[in-house]
Structure 1
Amino acid sequence: MPIVKKTAVLVGAACALVLALSPAAQAAPDDNRAQTLTALKTFQAAAGPGAGVYAGDSTGSYSLSVGTGTINTNTPITPTDRFRVGSQTKTFTAATVLTLVGEGKVSLDTVIGQYLPGVVTGNGYDGNAITVRQLLQHTSGIAAYSPNPLLPPPANPDGSFSLDVLVRDGLKNAPVGQPGATMVYSNTNYLILGMLIEKVTGTPVHEAVMARIVRPLGLTATSFPAPGDRSLPTPAVHGYNGVRFAGFFFWRDVISYDPSLFSSTGAMISTQDDLTRFYQALISGRVIPPAILTEMERTVPVGSPDSLLAYGLGIARYSLPCGGVAWGHDGEVPGYYTETLVTEDGRHASVVTNAHLATNPPVGQMYGVLNAALCDKS
């Protein structure tokens, strides 16, 4: 299951043919990755024009691609192609907050009202009752919210969006419970955390994440666009919106929206290779101190208590069908549906498709690819 539905989408009106298997995928059986290839084909048949997986273990990595990264061309998706990662941004945001915790500049159990007085207030909210930990873990009681590119909050003159405006828009939704009671995934939590980062560091959140996480790890293909920057560096996977119905599919280029609409909850750009290296560095203790990592990995169930998914501080734990657990995050944003998972023993899988579907997102098929890639011993 996904952690949450995150964004509104446009239904496309133009129909385009999706090409057959790319050369990279056709070579897979010789590489003993038949189960993963089969799962990837199933996923792509319910997903976008193309789909790719970058996976492996401590001995090496491989990539598979089906369909195409750009309609009406034969363009396999590769591990170094850039795409908008959606809510995988949350893990970068959380890691940035946790570096501040490690430096003693932020306390997990201090209420957000002490750092951002007057921000979380009104409509039943009280920032003096919600802690930083609860924002990170989506146990704040703040209602589910996804900024809508079709009906966005007021924009700046240049078309970008300010964090405080996004937060006020999210807080228009009434609380769903008392702080600390239950987990309800809400982008508003991470928009507030973006404001916290800016207040404590004195720098825009996009600069703080780049300076504290991305550049030190050498993630040269990863970026957090500044407000107003709508560009997607090349090489890139072309993103689409659309629907699939009764064997037909309709794709339309992603609407032109400013990534600052999602900011610290979903604005970042990366690649399968960079995302894998980021999560591997994170869970190995190379990003935040070990004691802080322990706090990050304290989880609450997502949904029912016996769910395979649990959520920590900006990172999800997934119980694998072959035993053990993997850590990572999914992401949905106009044009893309993605997820990256890594294990402590070196296994990894990063999946991307280049469409965010208006109906019936292929959640089960996504986990079919992840399960095959992380558990297939063929």
Structure 2
Amino acid sequence: MKHNGNRLSAVIGAAAAAVVMLTTTTAHATPADDHPATREALKTFQAAAGPGAAVHAGDSAGSWTLSAGTGTINTTKPIQSDEHFRIGSQTKTFTAATVLQLVDEGKVSLDTSIDTYLPGIVTGNGYDGTRITVRHLLQHTGGIAAYDPLASIALVEPDGTYKPATLVKEGLKRAPVSAPGAGFTYSNTNYLILGMLIEKVTGTQVHEAVTRRIIEPLGLTGTVFPAPGDRTLPAPAVGGYHGARIGPFYFWSPVLSYDPSLFSAAGAVVSTLEDLGTFYGALTAGRVVSPAALAEREKVRDLNGAGYGLGITKVALSCGGEAWGHNGAVPGYLTETMVTKDGRHAAVMTNAYLATNPPLRQLTTLLDAALCEGRP
């Protein structure tokens, strides 16, 4: 499921576009090329997506990876399941899990106002932080307007980083879209505020708190919540691109470097397909937060048949049942991971985010195929 808040409509900077003839690519499977429905769905997705795409999927019996296209333009270099990329708004699930751990510890209450923890932060322009709760922020139901951090590139600090408080203040310049609790509006501002909440309660920067509480205990060695100022992608990495597809041609150029603090708790994390499957699987299996917190996480707001809980989405599968996960988009990448409670998992990425006609339908079809193939 894709929300307006994820649809980043621009990329940072400008660069000369390279023109390359689109060629037919073949999906590569590991260990065996025996997932025909998923392979065809991957080809369809990649044909409408970036230079390359990959899916890493499986169940309790094992995992497999299919790749189409290339991770580096003008080469034949299939994307691998252990390569690093920016996961965009899948970061929100890491942030939400950290907040829920604080709830488990009695340090935060879901139905307490954000003004109790961060007095004076959510105020002005029609906003009243005494009426917007932590739950509202986690579920995008506080009435805070949709906000794209890319609109605030000019708010950079002298050291090249961004302050969450500055970004939140800018985001709140957009007037409320509803009364708290009355509607759903996906907004990055909600999670920038939650990042500030984590910092206030834990006394550490949000990247440190998420690392110590989520990433390290789960052994996610391919996952990094970068500190402000750290623009590097760990090796091995998949480079991100921007551009467009026009008929049989595509136009790609590398995304220029930007500081991850521009997205912070809303979208800064770097990970791999393998780690994302592990993280969402552990979270859904109850190995990250308590059963009570997990139950709260799964109280979804209905969105035309799908649902959004506390930093997590729920979707129905064509083979029956439901899957839980999140998607993400930042300059250079479109990603999504979904898991089921019986241990199936599927993580997908492509190394470009197309602002015009992003292949969201094809992405949904691919995930469904990977989770359902071979089931009755």
Shared fold, TM over 0.5: yes
Q: Counterpart in 2 of 1:255? A: 256
Alignment partners' CA distance in 2, 1:26 and 1:266: 29
Please state how far the C-alpha of 1:30 moved relative to its aligned partner: 5.6
Distance 1:30 1:275, change over 3 A: closer
Q: Indicate the SS of the match to 1:291.
A: helix
Length-normalised TM-score, structure 1: 0.95
Alpha-carbon separation, structure 1, partners of 2:297 and 2:244: 36
Provide the rounded CA distance (Å) in 2 between the counterparts of 1:237 and 1:295: 35
Partner of 2:206: 205
Equivalent positions of 1:47-62 (< 5 A) are 47-62=49-64
Matches within 5 A, 1:237-248: 237-248=238-249
Across the aligned residues of Structure 1 and Structure 2, the Cα RMSD in angstroms comes to 1.6
- Partner residue, 2:90: 88
- The within-5 A match list for 1:113-128 is 113-128=115-130
Distance 1:124 1:26 in 2: 53
Q: Which residue of structure 2 lines up, in the alignment, with residue 377 of structure 1? A: 374
Distance in 2 of aligned mates of 1:57 and 1:3: 28
Aligned with 1:43 (options 40, 45, 48): 45
Match of 1:16 in 2: 20
CA distance in 2, matches of 1:294, 1:71: 44
Q: What does residue 3 of structure 1 align with?
A: 3
293-302 vs 83-92, which deviates more?
293-302
Mapped partners of 1:26, 1:284: distance in 2:
30
* Change in CA separation of 1:27 and 1:370 when aligned onto 2, cut-off 3 Å: closer
More displaced, 251-260 or 33-42?
A: 251-260
Give deviations 1:93-115, integer Å, cap 9, x for gaps.
00000100000000000000010
Check 1:120–1:218 CA distance in 2 against 1; reply closer, same or farther (3 A cut): same
Q: Could you tell me which amino acid in structure 1 is paired with residue 334 of structure 2?
A: Y
Residue number in structure 1 paired with 2:316: 319
Larger deviation: 263-272 or 140-149?
A: 140-149
Cα deviation, 1:263-313, whole Å, max 9, x if unaligned, reads 0000000001001100111011110011111000110022x3xx2x20000
CA distance in 1, matches of 2:4, 2:280: 20
- Alignment partners' CA distance in 2, 1:95 and 1:289: 10
2:313 maps to amino acid:
A
* Counterpart secondary structure, 2:196: helix
Query: 1:5–1:332: 8 Å Cα contact kept in structure 2?
Result: no
| Letter in structure 2 aligned against 1:50 | G
Deviation at 1:152, TM superposition (A): 1.6
Distance change >3 Å, CA 214–CA 26, structure 1 → 2: closer
Residue 158 of structure 2 aligns to a residue whose secondary structure is coil
Report which stretch shifted further, 7-16 or 227-236: 7-16
The corresponding residue for 1:273 is 274
| Structure 1 stretches of at least 4 aligned residues deviating more than 4 Å after TM superposition | 17-20, 26-30
Map Cα deviations across residues 144-177 of structure 1 (whole Å, 9 max, x no partner): 111116x524111111100000101110110000
SS at match of 2:155: coil
- Name the SS for the 2:281 alignment partner: helix
Deviation at 1:5, TM superposition (A): 4.4
Instruction: Give the conservation status (yes or no) of the 8 Å contact 2:211–2:225.
Output: yes
Please, which runs of 5 or more residues in structure 1 have no aligned partner? none
Rate the CA distance shift 1:103–1:328 in 2: closer, same or farther, 3 A: same
Partner of 1:97: 99
Q: Is the 8 A contact 2:21 2:248 kept in 1?
A: no
CA distance in 2, matches of 1:141, 1:338: 26
Provide the rounded CA distance (Å) in 1 between the counterparts of 2:21 and 2:277: 31
Question: Which position in structure 2 is the counterpart of 1:148?
Answer: 150
- Residues in 2 aligned to 1:285 and 1:232: alpha-carbon distance in whole angstroms: 30
**Aligned residue type for 1:177:** S
Structure 1 residues 281 and 26, CA gap change in structure 2 (3 angstroms): closer
1:9 Cα deviation (Å)? 2.2
Q: Does 1:344 align with 2:348?
A: no
2:236 pairs with 1:235: yes
Unaligned runs of 5+ in 2: none
How far apart, CA to CA, are the structure 1 residues paired with 2:186 and 2:274? 27
CA contact (8 A) 1:17 1:72 kept: no
Which residue among 330, 349, 353 is the counterpart of 2:350? 353
Is the 8 Å Cα contact of residues 241 and 356 (structure 1) preserved in structure 2?
yes
Structure-to-structure mapping, 1:106-185, within 5 angstroms: 106-148=108-150, 152-185=153-186
Indicate if the aligned counterparts of 2:300 and 2:308 stay in contact, CA closer than 8 A: yes
- Structure 1 residue matching 2:244: 3-state secondary structure: strand
Q: CA deviation at 1:255?
A: 1.9
TM-score in terms of structure 2 length: 0.95
Deviation at 1:20, TM superposition (A): 4.3
**Percentage of identical aligned residues:** 61
